Every structure is written in C-alpha cells, then in structure tokens.
C-alpha cells in the first residue's frame, strides 16, 4: 500500500497532495516530506520566471502560496498580488500583506528599517530590560516602540527620546547619549 501511495504522489502538485488529506494531521510523515519538497520545487520554478501570474498560483497549496507571498511578492503581477492578498487562507493573506508593506518601503529602506529595529531592540533591552505593559505583563521593546512611536524606525533618535521620557518620567537630553551607548 505504501508503494501505491508513492506512485500516486509522483508528479502531483502541492495542492493535489494537500487535497488527498483534507483533515489536519491525517497526512503520513512520508507524504509530508514529499509535500515540503514539492512546495520547494514549485517556488524555485516560479523564482526562475520573470513574472508570477495568478494562473501559476492555482496548483499551489496554501503553504506554497504563503512562500510565494513571502519571497516572490515583488515578482507577481497585479492579478497575482490581488489573488494572494484575498486568499482564503489567513497565513497566505498575512504573508502577502507583510510583503506588500515591505515592498512599499523599498529594498534599501527596508534594510535600514530592519537595522534600526535591531539597534532599538539592543538599546531597549540594555537600558530598559523590562518595559511595563498591562498589570502583571511586560511587552517586548520593539512592540512598545511600534505602539508608542509609529514612525520611530524612520527617526530612531526621536523614538529613543520618547522611550526615555515615558519610562523615566523626565524629559532631558539623556536619551541621545544613551542611544549612542546602546549602539
């Protein structure tokens, strides 16, 4: 019976493999491994194409579509982007929304934003290791900066000053000095 399953899987798309086992957790381990390999091959094949179209996404299961949204959203045409943004699966939609947000910033600016997030995380964890949130809870420094300084990554010095003022209760010029030490 196992050989019969392997023969059925040969040449099958990730969507066909997923549809054979609709109940979560019902797919045998061997089939899961083939599914992951198939997804990887499908995404690599789409990487080689100059443009990903909506028709290219029809034979992909939700895992492969999420990978396309994460890695190849910029390579998709408008119809494929709309297809990913309005997908039935929440993982695909959220991956597409995040990719669209990164794409709107631009590649060089995206790297700069990520660098600032790393610097802000290091700064906050060094100088304010536990940021108070709700009673009995603490929030991650990145989450605090994002919620209190929405454009904090565009202007990190202002975010540091705002964090210092909020956490210490005093408004002075200490924060820029701390920001330099945090780097």
32-67 pLDDT, tens digit each: 899 899 999 999 999 999 999 999 999 999 999 999
Q: List Cβ neighbours of 162 (8 Å cut-off, separation of 6 or more).
A: 148, 149, 152
* pLDDT of amino acid 161: 67
Has this prediction a pTM greater than 0.85?
no
**H/E run at residue 111:** helix 107-127
The CA distance from 30 to 109, in Å, is: 42
Q: Report pLDDT for 12.
A: 84
Cα distance between residue 91 and residue 21, in whole Å: 19
Q: How is 10-63 classified by DSSP, letter by letter?
A: TT--HHHHHHH--STT-S-HHHHHHHHHHHHHHHHHHHHSSSB-HHHHTT--HH
Q: Which residues of the chain are modeled with pLDDT < 70?
A: 1-10, 105-183
pLDDT of residue 83: 92
Give, in degrees to the nearest 5, the angle at Cα 50 between 48 and 56: 75
Q: Write down the pLDDT at residue 54.
A: 93
From 116, 7, 159, select the one nearest 176 (Cα to Cα): 159
Residues 6+ apart with CB under 8 A from 16: 59
């Amino acid at each position: 019976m196992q050989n019969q399953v392997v023969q059925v899987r040969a040449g099958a798309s990730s969507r066909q493999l997923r549809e054979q086992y609709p109940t979560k957790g019902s797919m045998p381990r061997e089939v899961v491994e083939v599914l992951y390999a198939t997804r990887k091959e499908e995404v690599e094949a789409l990487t080689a194409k100059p443009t990903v179209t909506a028709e290219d996404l029809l034979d992909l299961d939700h895992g492969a579509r999420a990978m396309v949204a994460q890695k190849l959203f910029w390579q998709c045409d408008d119809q494929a982007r709309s297809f990913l943004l309005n997908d039935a699966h929440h993982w695909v939609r959220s991956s597409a929304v995040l990719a669209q947000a990164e794409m709107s910033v631009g590649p060089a600016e995206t790297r700069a934003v990520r660098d600032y997030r790393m610097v802000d995380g290091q700064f906050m964890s060094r100088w304010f290791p536990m940021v108070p949130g709700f009673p009995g809870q603490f929030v991650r420094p990145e989450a605090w900066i994002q919620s209190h300084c929405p454009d904090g990554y565009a202007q990190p010095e202002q975010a540091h000053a705002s964090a210092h003022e909020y956490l210490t209760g005093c408004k002075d010029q200490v924060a820029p000095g701390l920001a330099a030490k945090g780097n």
